[in-house]
Chain A
Amino acid sequence: FRVAAVWQALNHYAYLDAVFLAERLYAEVRSEEALYLLATCYYRSGKPYKAYRLLKAHSCSTPQVRFLLAKCCVELSKLAEGEQVLIGGVLNKQKSQDDIITEFGDSCTLTLTLTDRVAKGAECFQRSLTLNPFLWSPFQNLCHLGEKPDPDQVFRLSSLQNCSIALPPQSVSPAQNPSHRLDTALMETPQDTLELNRLNLESSNGKLTPDLSVSYIDSSLITPETGSLLGSTVSMASAGSLLAKQNKPKSGRSLLGGPSALSPLTPSFGILPLDPSPGDPTYLQNYTATMETQSTASNKKVQRHTSVSRISQSKSVFSQSGNSREVLPIPFNQTQSSAPHTSGSPQVLSPSMSGPPNVQPRRSSRLFTSASSTAKENSKKLKMKFPTKIPNRKTKCKTAKTSNSSNLNESLDILRLEPGLGLPDPKSQYQRAAADSVMALLRELGRGYQALCSYNCREAIHILTALPPQHYNTGWVLTHIGRAYFELAEYAQAERLFSEVRRIESYRVEGMEIYSTTLWHLQKDVALSALSKDLTDMDKNCPEAWCVAGNCFSLQREHDIAIKFFQRAIQVDPGFAYAYTLLGHEFVLTEELDRALACFRNAIRVNNRHYNAWYGLGMIYYKQEKFNLAEIHFKKALSINPQSSVLLCHIGVVQHALKKSDAALETLNRAIGIDPKNPLCKFHRASILFANDKYKAALQELEELKQIVPKESLVYFLIGKVYKKLGQTHLALMNFSWAMDLDPKGANNQIKEAIDKRYLPEDEGEDQVDDSQESSMTDADDTQLHTAESDDVL
């Protein structure tokens, strides 16, 4: 009973209660399950260190316990230990290995990338992807590592996988389970069931209010690891529960497209049957009965997976029937018994329950599965624990979510079966269809994301804008397209997209740091300060908010404050590479080049493919006139991001400084070829031509530039210099005076000097005297107290 109570408390997010009860339970029954349960409570209430210490103190044998321990290790940054725990588990039974490997990938990345075993990490990711193509984060991490996983390959459902994936979510159709169970399925099932469980847990409240149910549906949709399918199933489950409850089922329905559609689905998706029997204690009995029948039906083919999935289903049932507490213990106990063993036979449940109509077996099975799956779930994907918890997940989940909802609708339409507890086979077909659509979506997203990560930005934009509108108008997609524009230096477009993201999802923080840099480039200080205030008010614990604040003050030239904020961002999240990069830029602006170097190096340490940091290092070396080093670093940055015209422009200038003017010109030509709108490339090309005495070509270039950027004083300045060299003093003076006019702050001494030297072109000797006279005159002015603007006086 206590176990049921604990699970119920967990389901209802009443972590204090859950922890309290779990502690009492553990004190009384010092079993491994109780230990696991207690650790789960700790972990879920956001205290991984408690779970960690608890689990460390006791030996863990079951894979789920070990998995939980590994999760805690990862959270606490004890990566080596986490890895060891996982590997130790791998040597265990086959099943656990499969489960672990799937999760291995995720934890592995952290461990391995940090210990530079990138190849192994990539391999683990690949494996986890093959095991469960619904996993998005391994794919994302692979992209980050610079590998280029082929989305078509990855997001592909084999028939087996189809079923296995479909099955766990359903958690009900055991018949399906057996037919599709394979080892791969096994691996996926636990995860799926885990996810499902969680979702079910969340959806358990579906009984309570429609809002809750809706939110649960959402949360269920947000299954970080698995794809939309799980989400859909879960949402279905929650919707089903809603229906069952009959308490304002509308919300659930509206989301899921109608109860009738749900009913046929529920069985397949492990949702409660359509019959709206609200919170009926007999529910469980019925469920168990149905489960019984189902289990018997599937028994023949039931493998461990099945039981797992069923357990997850029963779990959801369990959660749904939260109200009927007394009933809960029963199924829960059953699940308890089966929980630790994935191979628990479903029959365990059935005997305890009477035999009600068919509908109910689903529920009971769900109960069953959910109970066991909670165990598994914890061991597997604790990441999925809080759909709302981890922002990273959220981003992917959002796509999953949106895709889920769309898929749900599609699948609902597709799965419009008779409300009878129909055959599993048609359902599996429908599930497969649904899964296929999910896969197709994931493929597209994967292609777009991968293109972005390899900085193939035009392609990424192209792919992502081709998504259907319901996906396109989500934060994740728009953010990534905005980022693609940002990398292309098309800041206006990027800004437009990001402001759209802000309008749609004002709670989104991922990608806001890119938005803030976009605004910094565009010098929109009002928008930037508004963004900064909003984000820091909303979430003081995310590094993006502090990066935005730092950018805001940097734009206001208050570099000390900006430095403070960037340091705060680093404190909040030491793994956020961009904060280091921005901090490095600030140090460069305050001329503290040593500290800037250290910052950029830190950024590279965190993320090797952070080309901004490589660029920063190159800039510092350029300032220190170490042109060779500068060129090397710029080239490294270019190797990561080959289509950045700004980078090419810098390389061109550095090459020119190294006296490799031809190479410089060629590089600049490349830059202009990639992005003809970049005025600086043309400007530098003109200046190199000028330095090489190719005045006509330079002039032509500059004339073109004048058309593009008519208000830029530098252009006129350079034209003036060219004319001066050509001896056309009139034109030179004219251009210099234009340059002076366009430069309102008048701080450009160079222009003044150029004009000074122009005053007496014939006599160079006199120039000196006259210059000194000029400057002495101005100096006389200076001896008086004057305001800053007097600098303009000439």
Chain B
Amino acid sequence: MATPSKTPPGADPKQLERTGTVREIGSQAVWSLSSCKPGFGVDQLRDDNLETYWQSDGSQPHLVNIQFRRRTTVKMLCIYADYKSDESYTPSKISVRVGNNFHNLQEIRQLEMVEPSGWIHISLLNQRTNEPISTFMIQIAVLANHQNGRDTHMRQIKVYTPVEESSIGKFPRCTTVDFMMYRTIR
């Protein structure tokens, strides 16, 4: 009997942000949940605090809907899940769907997690072109939890868009300080 290997935790998204390659854009979106327990809602999901969490309060699948004002390129999602603290509330199967509105969603990724203990990075790159997807809406669906729990805890979700960083010209980012110094007038 092979125990499935535990999902390794990913890097802290803050580190990612500091590289300047991605930018967190969750603040530009409207977040909604399929259900939640009072006091454990969207605010707790988006408060940058790993101690607070969203607790769902309905039937599966539990949904997190992220709607943008305009079509946005999204490169990756980061979800914080911790089996040790959430146990049966920890999601085990997550489906990511994108589309224009609620009726237009298409699943682009489905992933299984085994006893996660940190940040899970879900990269949302287009299958064919390897480009980040551009969408109006993202829906994260929790299809199953560990130990077949009914409700789920989710501690933090972050949405990242790639930073073009092209101040002028259609070129990729420059790497040296010397170049970057002259890139812009501040």
B21-36 vs A: 1/0 string, CB under 8 Å?
1010101100000000
Evaluate contact between A714 and B11: CB separation under 8 angstroms. no
CB of A767 within 8 Å of the partner chain: no
Evaluate contact between B175 and A712: CB separation under 8 angstroms. yes
Known: A585-B186, A653-B168, A714-B174. A787 touches B181 (CB 8 A): no
How far is A708 from B174 in the complex, measured between Cα atoms in Å? 14
A573-585 vs B: 1/0 string, CB under 8 Å?
0000000011001
How far is A653 from B168 in the complex, measured between Cα atoms in Å? 7
CB of A789 within 8 Å of the partner chain: yes
Evaluate contact between A748 and B172: CB separation under 8 angstroms. yes
How far is A679 from B182 in the complex, measured between Cα atoms in Å? 8
How far is A581 from B113 in the complex, measured between Cα atoms in Å? 46
Tell me the smallest distance from the CB of A634 to a CB of chain B, in Å.
10
How far is A653 from B167 in the complex, measured between Cα atoms in Å? 11
Chain B, 152-186, CB within 8 A of any chain A CB = 162, 167-169, 171-186
How far is A783 from B129 in the complex, measured between Cα atoms in Å? 15
CB contacts (< 8 Å) of B74 on chain A: these are none
B110-150 vs A: 1/0 string, CB under 8 Å?
01010000001111010111110000000000000000000
Instruction: Point out the residue from B20, B127, B178 that lies within 8 Å of A712, measured CB to CB.
Output: B178
Known: A557-B17, A644-B185. A622 touches B11 (CB 8 A): no
Q: Which residue of A lies closest to B112 (CB)?
A: A785
Known: A557-B17, A776-B127. A785 touches B121 (CB 8 A): yes
Tell me the smallest distance from the CB of B181 to a CB of chain A, in Å.
5
Known: A644-B185, A750-B172, A785-B121. A680 touches B27 (CB 8 A): no
Q: Which residue of A lies closest to B76 (CB)?
A: A788
Query: Which of A590, A591, A611, A622 counts the most chain B CB atoms within 10 A?
Result: A591
A760-780 vs B: 1/0 string, CB under 8 Å?
000000000000100110110
Evaluate contact between A787 and B113: CB separation under 8 angstroms. no
CB of A91 within 8 Å of the partner chain: no
How far is A711 from B171 in the complex, measured between Cα atoms in Å? 16
Evaluate contact between B186 and A612: CB separation under 8 angstroms. yes
Evaluate contact between B186 and A520: CB separation under 8 angstroms. yes
A380-414 vs B: 1/0 string, CB under 8 Å?
00000000000000000000000000000000000
CB contacts (< 8 Å) of B25 on chain A: these are 591
Q: Which residue of B lies closest to A743 (CB)?
A: B175
Tell me the smallest distance from the CB of A758 to a CB of chain B, in Å.
16
Evaluate contact between B121 and A788: CB separation under 8 angstroms. yes
How far is A649 from B172 in the complex, measured between Cα atoms in Å? 17
Chain A, 522-544, CB within 8 A of any chain B CB = 522-523
Tell me the smallest distance from the CB of B90 to a CB of chain A, in Å.
14
CB contacts (< 8 Å) of B177 on chain A: these are 522-523
Evaluate contact between A646 and B175: CB separation under 8 angstroms. no
CB contacts (< 8 Å) of B61 on chain A: these are none
How far is A672 from B123 in the complex, measured between Cα atoms in Å? 42
How far is A649 from B168 in the complex, measured between Cα atoms in Å? 9
CB contacts (< 8 Å) of A750 on chain B: these are 171-172
Tell me the smallest distance from the CB of B156 to a CB of chain A, in Å.
16
CB of B39 within 8 Å of the partner chain: no
Evaluate contact between A779 and B175: CB separation under 8 angstroms. no
Evaluate contact between B169 and A653: CB separation under 8 angstroms. yes
Evaluate contact between A772 and B128: CB separation under 8 angstroms. yes
Known: A489-B182, A523-B180, A775-B128. A785 touches B120 (CB 8 A): yes
CB of A158 within 8 Å of the partner chain: no
CB of A354 within 8 Å of the partner chain: no
CB of A725 within 8 Å of the partner chain: no
Evaluate contact between A717 and B172: CB separation under 8 angstroms. yes
Chain A, 585-632, CB within 8 A of any chain B CB = 585, 590-591, 611-612, 615, 619, 622
Closest 4 pairs (CB-CB, A-B): A748-B172, A747-B21, A775-B130, A680-B182
Interface on A for B, CB 8 Å cutoff? 489, 491, 517, 520-523, 556-560, 581-582, 585, 590-591, 611-612, 615, 619, 622, 637, 644-647, 649-650, 653, 678-681, 683-684, 687, 708-709, 711-714, 717-718, 742-745, 747-751, 772, 775-776, 778-779, 782-783, 785-791
A sample of 23 inter-chain contacts (CB < 8 A) reads: A523-B180, A615-B185, A622-B168, A646-B183, A646-B184, A711-B175, A712-B175, A712-B176, A714-B174, A717-B171, A718-B171, A743-B172, A743-B175, A749-B130, A751-B172, A772-B128, A775-B129, A778-B125, A778-B130, A779-B130, A782-B123, A788-B15, A789-B11
A517-B186, A622-B168, A649-B182 known, 7 other contacts, Cβ within 8 Å:
A582-B186, A678-B182, A679-B179, A714-B173, A747-B172, A775-B127, A779-B130
